[in-house]
Structure 1
């Protein structure tokens, strides 16, 4: 301690800065406790059509469950075709393929095509309904410039032409041509449809009235198609919102861009004036949010007045009766994880589906038993209440930022921990030790000034690696002491106490590293997952690579070590290791270890095909229902008990098994830091998760030690009996 007083002082100051940073983050997270649930109008309309009750009945029922809004998409040609069978829409080339098109449509159509021409990318609209025509034409005239469309005929048979181009075209991608011998021929594609069918035309008054009659409010969803976006469209949209009194608390942007893009200033000013937050819709793999042009820029313009949104994707809708559940429990679990673990405060809710396609409705069958929805909402509300959460208008996080001064102080602590780690790995003279320390202290603030958003990630990665590695230094230090300096004659219960104590201390060191990650990356962009920490898998792997070097520093490599040995890797150790004769069994064991490691790393995240078994998922769900946060299985069932077993082997002076146990144990220590690398998860939840894993890990570790003790006694007894049998 006296030799490293400067380093220890730096660490203490750094931890104080970390505490202040985390307290600010925890305060922001604690005030973000209200979850909004909004219904999808089109899906509930389809579900009501399959039930015996009208849509108004369903909406009234959900209003009683705490729902306030129904998300209503702006009308477009596609939605109008669904609603009205008097509307005909053709691509330009499809119109010309109709043999009688000159006789079918008004003479104005023939005249225009003969003189102006028609493109295969154009969209031709025809209807005999004046109501439909008026809605379409008024929508086009009020929103778009005249060069985008052409009114062809305005009496009797109404026709309109939308002028498209190749960027608007939509093609089928699974169409193949082959000859009689099965040889493929290059197909000549024609546009199957057009993006122009989705351009906004205004909101349907009938749908608005249905929602209002049910006691719910409309959450308007205008559509952004960049190539057709105009200031006129913006003004018309705002006019609709004002006229129908449907200002949304959050904008759920539809299309590939935010409303008004690329003119962000107009929509930003409107949202600030009306206290409307930006909606960040989480992707289907539950990582970051759907890319929409201008969304990040808009969010920053709003000073991060934004809400993370969870959309109930089709694959989640179909999880009714999943994992041996009778009803919507797994859907409920998905929603619960979203709001408690991923800062989701807005759920775009869609009705449940059973995994059975219905040809009559040309869609999956919806669950139309209201009690199933009622039970799920009641359970969901009760579960989130344990975290202090309620249903209502979604809360928004304060735009927290970490000052460079605090980042620097925290960075200095990481540098200090790194120098401390090096002193146990290699022999460092004072001048080299403090020289490296000085270099690190100077580089940290320089990095935060020059590239702050890169430097914070690098420092977080550094913390996620160095503290778990430092924790394994402590593990090896204790094992060295048990093997070379202490008596073996401790009773079993004392061995268990030592093992549990050392597990707690080792994990506490790794926990500090995890808190450094959570502290340095406390910027609001990480909490909203506009930016993410990409070093998770690397931070899991590197401590596993470093651990053998730490063990070698303490125990050498095929050399005698006395109890006065100071930890360091010698040149002789490296030379012996490099020129070691590799046995086939070592190669096989290494291959097995690497395979297990690959599976462990590949299973992390939602973008992998390697998923846990159904049994494991059911077990996880049980833990999740019983505890405030589900502990990580690999930690409490494998890695933490392995560390206790490693201490047990060290007490028995079995060095090789101590090393193997440590190789498994380091996975758990890296996992602790990794837990806090999921920045969208509140700090308190990550802490509780780790503490649960630690408590369960101690219990499981004691069980493993008891099993080993019984097995060793049985083996020794068997050996004695065999020896006696031979002597007789």
Structure 2
């Protein structure tokens, strides 16, 4: 303590900066407690068509479940065709290939085509219905410059050309021809469709009235192709918002860019600020970050982060009815619950549930039309989020929190101090070297935060994620060394268990501190909204394992003599003895097994992993989730924490090899603590609760493991003494 007083003092000051930073973050998170649910008009229309009730009936029913909005997208040629409107849409090349187009269409069309004004990328629209023509013509005329389209005929058969280019064309992929010998032959394709099919034409008044008459509000979703974007389009759309009283609370942007991009997104931003409209960040289907829409991050920053994370009920989630042996929609409910409690989701874009494929070949599903199932699901969901102080309503947002450079610097200094303490147990550092490294660290940390703040905070967080679990394992090795060489063996099992519990708590507290450093340094609002993410999670889990092996060797050495009296640090002779060791088959087998387990461990980490948990494990997780405020991590309370207790038990019984192997497993639990806090979108209180539950349950399971080992050891001694199997 005296030798490291300066380092401990710096660490204490750093912890104070950490506490004040986390206090601010916790306060911001605690004020973000309102969850909004928006229904998908299109999919509810499809569901209503499969049911015996009207769409209006369904909307009225859902209006009583705490739901306020239904989304409504602008109509376009694609949606009009899907609604079986009486119109025909052809690509330019399809029109030119028709042999009888001169007889089929008006003379204006013939003149236009004969004049060579149409090209293969144009979109030709024709209808004999006045209502359909008026809607399309009005939408185009009010929204877009005339250079983009031309109305050829104002009388039946009505005709319009939307002028396209090769950039607008859409092609079918993976189509090829084969001959009798099954040899592929390249085929040149004509455009299959065009992006102009999705150009916004206006909102359907009948749909607006259907939503409003049911007691719900319209959440309009304007969308147009960015090549056609203009201020005229935006002004028309905003006027329609006023005319039909349907200002959105959140903009859920459609397509690959935000509304107004790239020519008038500043106009949209000003409109959103004036009307307190939030920007929607749609979470990806792998539940990591948000969809990459051009201009979205810049817009959110311009709004001072007045944004909300959106969870869309993706098709694979819609199909989870009677999933994992549930009787109804419980697993879909679990998915929604995790989204809002664990990932800062505050708007759920809800689509009706699907079940029972009716066309397996085309993977088509029947919608669930039993309203009572939806009612039960949403009532359970509201009750469960209520345990976290959350309610349903208009989505809340988080204040724009930023961490000052001064606090980041103080926390960085604490990480530097902890790292030098760790290094002191691996290398024999004299006083001059220690303070020299400290001085360099104290200078470099603030410089890094000034020059590259958004990189420096990630580096410091990763540093903390590696340093503190490693430092925690220093304490574990220190205790094991003490129990093996400095302390008499005790035969009292309850004392061994108490020592194991105490040491587990202390070791976990050190790792827990590392997790808090990560959570505090990366408290910027962009991390909470997952506009930016903490990278290096796998590195943060591998390095402490390697460090543990080195730390253990610094205490116990490798075939070292006179171990009792030597102070801990890694010696050249230990490394030499290890490198020149005779390789035995058992060593190779052990390494292969270790690498296999290590691969599974790392592959299970993250969101895009190809190694998934088993069905039984997922059911077990759901049971924990339904009965606790936060689900503890299996690898902590089932593996890592009990392994550390067992390691202490083996050290108490002077069994060094098993103590070392137990420590190798125990590192998993310690890195997992930090990893819990590395999920920055998860509120801090939930990460704390998750770690606490894991520690309590881990102590119980660790005690059981020790009792089982004790019984096993006594049984082996009994067999050996009586020579039963000889």
Say yes or no: TM over 0.5.
Answer: yes
- In structure 2, the partner of 1:111 is 111
Provide Cα deviations, 1:569-617, integer angstroms capped at 9, x if missing partner: 1111111122222222111111111111111111122212210000000
Per-residue deviation at 1:361? Answer: 11
The residue aligned with 1:667 is 668
Alignment of structure 1 residues 482-521 onto 2, 5 Å? 482-521=483-522
Preserved contact between residue 87 and residue 127 of structure 2 (Cα < 8 Å): yes
Q: Is the 1:224–1:257 Cα contact (8 Å) retained in structure 2?
A: no
Is the alpha carbon distance of 1:361 and 1:644 closer, same or farther for their aligned partners in structure 2, counting shifts above 3 Å?
closer
Match of 1:295 in 2: 296
2:627 paired residue number: 626
1:52-96 CA distances to partner (integer Å, 9 max, x unpaired)?
Answer: 000001000000001000000111011111224311001111112
Equivalent residue, structure 2, for 1:637: 638
8 Å contact from structure 2 (residues 556, 563) kept in 1: no
* Residue 359 of structure 1, CA deviation: 8.5
Task: Name the structure 2 match of 1:267.
Answer: 268
The answer to which of 555-564 and 623-632 deviates more is: 555-564
**Which residue does 1:90 correspond to in 2?**
90
Gap runs ≥5 in structure 1 = none
What is the CA-CA distance between 1:360 and the residue it aligns to?
Answer: 13
Quote the offset at 1:97 in angstroms. 2.1
Is residue 647–residue 663 contact of structure 2 (8 Å, CA) maintained in 1?
Answer: yes
Q: Which residue of 2 aligns with 1:185?
A: 185
Distance 1:192 1:363 in 2: 23
Matches of 1:480 and 1:556, distance apart in 2: 11
Q: Deviations over 1:264-286 (max 9, x none)?
A: 21011000000001000000000
Q: Is the 8 A contact 2:357 2:363 kept in 1?
A: no
TM-score, normalised on structure 2? 0.99
Structure 1 contact 278–307 (Cα < 8 Å) conserved: yes
- How far does the alpha carbon of each residue in 1:29-63 deviate from its partner, in whole angstroms, 9 at most, with x for none? 00000000000000000000000000001000000
| 2-structure distance, mates of 1:441, 1:652 | 43
CA RMSD of aligned residues (A): 1.3
1:146 aligns with 2:132: no
For 2:364 and 2:277, how far apart are their aligned partners in 1?
35
Give the whole-Å Cα distance in 1 for the aligned partners of 2:300 and 2:658.
Answer: 54
Q: Secondary structure at the match of 2:698?
A: helix
Name the SS of the counterpart of 2:565 in structure 1. Answer: coil
State whether residues 603 and 609 of structure 2, in contact with CA within 8 Å, keep that contact through their aligned partners in structure 1: yes
Alpha-carbon deviation of 1:358? 4.4
Alignment correspondent of 2:26 = 26
Retained in 2: the 8 A contact 1:92–1:119?
Answer: yes
Whole-angstrom CA distance in 1 between matches of 2:362 and 2:512: 54
Instruction: Name the structure 2 match of 1:56.
Output: 56
- 2:623 aligned counterpart, secondary structure: helix
Equivalent residue, structure 1, for 2:195? 195
Q: Contact (CA 8 Å) 1:514, 1:675: kept in 2 or not?
A: yes
Residue 578 of structure 1 corresponds to which residue in structure 2? 579
Gaps of 5+ in 2: none
CA distance in 1, matches of 2:508, 2:37: 39
Hey, what does 2:440 align to over in structure 1? Answer: 439
Deviations 1:215-257, CA, capped at 9 Å, x for gaps: 0000000114211111111111111111111111110011111
Q: Aligned partners of 2:279 and 2:551: how far apart in 1?
A: 49
CA shift in 2, pair 1:361/1:439, >3 Å? closer
Contact 1:525/1:531 (<8 A) preserved: yes
- Cα separation, 1, equivalents of 2:301 and 2:335: 29
Query: Which deviations, in whole Å up to 9, do the C-alpha atoms of 1:427-469 show, x marking residues without a partner?
Result: 1111100000000010000000000000000000000000000
Q: What is the CA–CA distance in structure 1 between the aligned matches of 2:361 and 2:708, rounded to whole Å?
A: 60
Q: Residue 711 of structure 2 corresponds to which residue in structure 1?
A: 710
> Which range is displaced more, 147-156 or 345-354?
147-156
Compute the displacement of 1:719 (Å): 0.7
Following the alignment from structure 1 to structure 2, what is the Cα–Cα distance between the partners of residues 268 and 453?
25
Map 1:302-701 → 2, pairs under 5 A: 302-358=303-359, 363-701=364-702
Report what 1:244 is aligned to. 244
User: CA–CA distance in 1 between the matches of 2:642 and 2:76?
Assistant: 60
User: Residues 426 and 568 of structure 2 are in contact (CA less than 8 Å); yes or no, is this contact kept in structure 1?
Assistant: yes
Query: Are residues 1:214 and 2:222 paired?
Result: no
SS in 2 for 1:309: strand
> 2: distance between equivalents of 1:561 and 1:630?
47
How far 1:563 moved relative to its partner?
2.7
Counterpart CA distance in 2 for 1:409 and 1:578 is 41
Q: Are 1:40 and 2:37 an aligned pair?
A: no
Contact 2:198–2:224 at 8 Å: present in 1 too? Answer: no
Task: Tell me the distance in 2 between the aligned counterparts of 1:224 and 1:680.
Answer: 32
Give the Cα–Cα distance (whole angstroms) in 2 for the partners of residues 422 and 361 of structure 1: 60
Alignment size in residue pairs: 725
**1:599 is paired with a residue of what secondary structure?**
helix
Greater Cα offset, 558-567 or 411-420? 558-567
Contact 2:490 2:496 in 1 (8 A): no
Could you say which residue in structure 2 is the equivalent of 1:6?
A: 6
Secondary structure of the residue aligned to 2:3 is: helix
| Alignment match, 1:166 | 166
Equivalent pair of 2:632/2:694 in contact (CA under 8 Å): yes
Decide whether the 8 Å contact of 1:555 with 1:561 is kept in 2: no
Is the Cα contact below 8 Å between 1:282 and 1:290 reproduced in 2?
A: yes
- Contact 2:465–2:540 (Cα < 8 Å) also in 1: yes
